[in-house]
């Protein structure tokens, strides 16, 4: 089944130095079929629409589920358009927000569709990810402790307990302990004898968390 290209909503402003580049880049993506349709709004002519979307500076772009501000090259816009049509794009977008200090925006993005938690595990599985991304993604996942949303990714977390890097195994054990599901015990129990002390300690803490799990 072919992917449905995202639509674009672009706010521009008079005298904006980057708006023309973004507008031109999106126009090319429409021609290529990578963007379904493009709506352009001049904030000076329609300040009420800008206020509705919380636009504070131009260019401001809503591309599928993503909100992007500032200058973006045609190549960057193409990449975001492609990501907007696939699951992995959610992880890229959350990483983008966290690197910009946009944790609150990331919280809202995940809350709109908690299935977006699953692709975030790619960041947990990457020990070379920046510390702000790893901490931010962990906090997002932790905020769904003892909920069906986190329990839905239990199998994937279980797989991460066998990761080659001990930091990933430790993080996976920690998050499994927060699922509140008895199904997590077998994965965590296997880490109680892990070769790395940190993993063993976190696994023990997770097992204590899961003691009363059903």
Domain chopping of the chain, boundaries:
8-83, 89-209
Name the β-bridge partners of 42: 12
Q: Is the pTM of this model over 0.85?
A: yes
Question: In this structure, are strands 38-42 and 8-12 parallel, antiparallel, or unpaired?
Answer: parallel
Q: Which two tokens stand for residue 141?
A: 């996942």
How far is CA 16 from its chain centroid? 29
Q: Kindly list the averaged pLDDT for each block of 10 residues, start to end, along the chain of length 214.
A: 84 96 97 97 97 96 96 96 90 95 96 96 93 94 97 97 97 97 97 97 96 80
The pLDDT score that the predictor gives to residue 97 is: 96
pLDDT value for 113: 95
CATH class of segment(s) 89-209: mainly alpha
Q: State CA 87 to chain mean position distance.
A: 10
Please give the C-alpha separations between residue 197 and each of 57, 172, 191, 204, in angstroms, as whole numbers.
49, 15, 10, 11
Predicted pLDDT at 212: 81
Query: 8-83 architecture in CATH?
Result: 3-Layer(aba) Sandwich (3.40)
């Amino acid at each position: 089944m072919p992917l449905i290209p995202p639509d674009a909503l672009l706010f521009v402003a008079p005298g904006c130095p980057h708006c023309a580049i973004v507008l031109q880049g999106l126009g090319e993506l429409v021609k290529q079929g990578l963007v379904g349709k493009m709506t352009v709004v001049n904030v000076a002519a329609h300040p009420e629409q800008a206020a509705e979307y919380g636009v504070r500076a131009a260019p401001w772009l809503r591309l599928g589920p993503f909100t992007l501000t500032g200058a973006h090259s045609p190549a960057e816009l193409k990449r975001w358009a492609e990501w907007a049509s696939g699951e992995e794009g959610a992880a890229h977008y959350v990483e983008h927000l966290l690197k910009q200090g946009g944790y609150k925006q990331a919280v809202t993005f995940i809350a709109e569709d908690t299935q977006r938690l699953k692709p975030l595990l790619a960041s947990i599985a990457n020990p070379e990810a920046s510390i702000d991304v790893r901490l931010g993604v962990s906090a997002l996942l932790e905020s769904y402790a003892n909920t069906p949303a986190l329990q839905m990714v239990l199998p994937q977390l279980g797989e991460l307990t066998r990761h080659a890097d001990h930091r990933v195994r430790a993080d996976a054990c920690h998050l499994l302990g927060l699922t509140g599901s008895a199904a997590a015990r077998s994965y965590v129990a296997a880490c109680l004898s892990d070769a790395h002390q940190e993993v063993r300690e976190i696994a023990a803490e997770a097992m204590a968390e899961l003691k009363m799990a059903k």
